[in-house]
Amino acid sequence: MSGNPICELLQIEYPIFQGAMAWIADGRLAAAVSEAGGLGIIAGGNAPADYVREQIRLLRERSSKPFAVNIMLQSPFAEEIAQLVCEERVPAVTTGAGNPARYMERWKQAGIKVIPVVASTAMAKLMSRTGADALIAEGGESGGHVGELSTMVLLPLVSDVTTLPLIAAGGIGDGRGIAAAWALGASAVQLGTRFLTARECPIHPEYREKILKATDRSTVVTGRTTGHPVRALRTPFTREYEAREYGGAEAVELERLGSGALRKAVQDGDVQEGCFMSGEIAAMFTKTQTAREIIEDLVRDAEQRGVRLRGDCGL
């Protein structure tokens, strides 16, 4: 039986990534996922380098297994974090919101595996030429910043234009999603919203409760007119944002409205001014579990549907 290319690349047990959710995916959550056999990812977001270093060290106190750091390339601290991951000898980096080409040689020299998030075939081709080790094809069903194409459409299109191993993201939460991802060309999956229900996830109880009570119509995408669409749960904040967005508000006003809204949701559970980012798939989740229980459920469910994850990763 041949090994899974993502597991062999990263030396992880299961081809399951935990999504890089800004101000959420910290060292504790990432460590729990890595310890359970997946790939825990620390989200850089717009945080300063000192915060990311702290989270890396927190993770290493809890786990010696492989992990990744996600660098949001539009962050004002991207350059500092790009250097930090080299200094800290981080095993892998995932990137979003931009082109990581300027850092690629530096990371390669440091032995870091580079896995950009792509939302189009054009970006997939560019990253393949630039030297990426694998690609995360993320569809618009996902939470947070989203592209236009759905995972069902994006994944086979990207698979047709690259030979790199693919990680499917967006709208995946159980074994059915994993089986679909494999059929469409993926070798691994990335889940964000399901890990919001993990007991190790540091979100405010109000945030977790909203995820657990979500329905199939609970999310909305705002920011399409600004070129920075974001999917989140419907709340007073999203209604206010929509009203201003389609009421002729200037981009600077919308930016000011959204500034700090995610942290208000994550840290304070502020239902009036917080932005509770979530994928459409939140409606499927009705209970909390540990990160290990989530991964065990995913593996068992996928195997029942004919996708063998256990023991197929070359370890």
Contact 110, 89 (CB under 8 A): yes
Contact 116, 125 (CB under 8 A): no
CATH of the domain at 81: 3.20.20.70
Asked whether the predicted pLDDT for residue 315 surpasses 50, the reply is: no
Residue 255 has a pLDDT of 86
Contacts of 157 (CB under 8 A, 6+ apart): 121, 149
Tell me: do 80 and 184 sit in the same domain.
yes
Report d(CA 148, CA 130) in Å as an integer: 23
Closest by CA to 54, choosing from 81, 76, 94, is: 81
Through-space distance between the first and last CA atoms of the chain, rounded to whole angstroms: 12
Structure tokens of 308? 């063998």
Q: What is the pLDDT of residues 170-224, one digit of tens each?
A: 999 999 999 999 999 999 999 999 999 999 999 999 999 999 999 999 999 998 8
Tell me: do 162 and 260 sit in the same domain.
no
Q: What is the pLDDT of residues 217-273, one digit of tens each?
A: 999 999 888 888 999 999 999 999 999 989 888 888 888 888 889 999 999 999 999
Asked whether the predicted pLDDT for residue 139 surpasses 90, the reply is: yes
b (16+ CB within 10 A) / e for 141-173:
bbbbbbbebbbeebbeebbeebebbbbbbbbbb
Give Cα separations from 69 to 30, 107, 305 (angstroms): 9, 12, 31
Quick one: what percent of the chain has pLDDT higher than 70? 97
Q: What is the pLDDT of residues 49-70, one digit of tens each?
A: 999 999 999 999 999 999 999 9
Asked whether the predicted pLDDT for residue 16 surpasses 70, the reply is: yes
Tell me: do 294 and 251 sit in the same domain.
no
Domain tally, the chain: 2
Tell me: do 21 and 168 sit in the same domain.
yes
Domain range for 250 is 219-277
Asked whether the predicted pLDDT for residue 5 surpasses 50, the reply is: yes
Report d(CA 153, CA 157) in Å as an integer: 7
Residue 311 has a pLDDT of 54
Helix 49-62 with 27-35: angle, nearest 10 deg:
30
Residue 248 has a pLDDT of 85
Q: Is residue 282 part of a domain?
A: no
Tell me: do 86 and 170 sit in the same domain.
yes
Tell me: do 273 and 291 sit in the same domain.
no
Q: Is residue 140 part of a domain?
A: yes
Closest by CA to 21, choosing from 271, 186, 195, is: 195
pTM attached to this predicted model: 0.92
Question: What's the rounded mean pLDDT across residues 117-127?
Answer: 94
Structure tokens of 279? 């994928």
Asked whether the predicted pLDDT for residue 314 surpasses 50, the reply is: no
Owner of token pair 């993990």: 198
Tell me: do 162 and 192 sit in the same domain.
yes
Tell me: do 127 and 259 sit in the same domain.
no
